[in-house]
Amino acid sequence: MSKKSKTIICIEANAINRYIIKKLLESEGHVVHDAETKKAGLDLFRTVEPDLILIDLHMPGVDGYAITQHIRSINGLTEVPILALTTHVGIDGHNKTPISGCEGCIQKPIDAQGFVNHLSQFLS
């Protein structure tokens, strides 16, 4: 049985994390559009209709929670799942992500097998 390709937007400040995420998801047959900055990420929403959004919550000089709330206000994106990428998954991450509009957290550094398995529930 073949999997249906999904379109994913990943807004992540760290180039290595973006590379790993893109390679893992592309190896599963998905199309990944990535951005390093808030502006570049928000610009993607003008041309890309994602099935899933991954967002770094701790980007330099930018509050990832505010970006997430802004994404939720964009027409057509209110129901698209958003997953937070963060090194701070503890109590802080679990309390803030639902408030900010995220469906969950993915802890960095990325665990390849756990990452793909975790995302599969949001991509089915």
What domains does the chain contain, in order, with CATH numbers?
Answer: 7-123 (3.40.50.2300)
Q: What pLDDT score was predicted for residue 90?
A: 57
Residue 96 pLDDT > 60: no
Q: In whole angstroms, how far apart are CA 92 and each of 57, 96, 98? A: 12, 6, 11
Between residues 115 and 98, the one the model is more confident about: 115
Residue 112 pLDDT > 70: yes
Residue 93 pLDDT > 60: no
Q: Which of 6, 1, 20, 2 is nearest to 119 (CA)?
A: 6
Q: Which of 26-30, 50-54, 102-106 has the lowest mean pLDDT?
A: 102-106
* 56-74 residues labelled b (16+ CB within 10 A) or e (exposed): bbbbeebebbebbeebbee
Q: Mean pLDDT over residues 100-114, rounded?
A: 85
Residue 62 pLDDT > 60: yes
Q: What is the pTM of this model?
A: 0.89
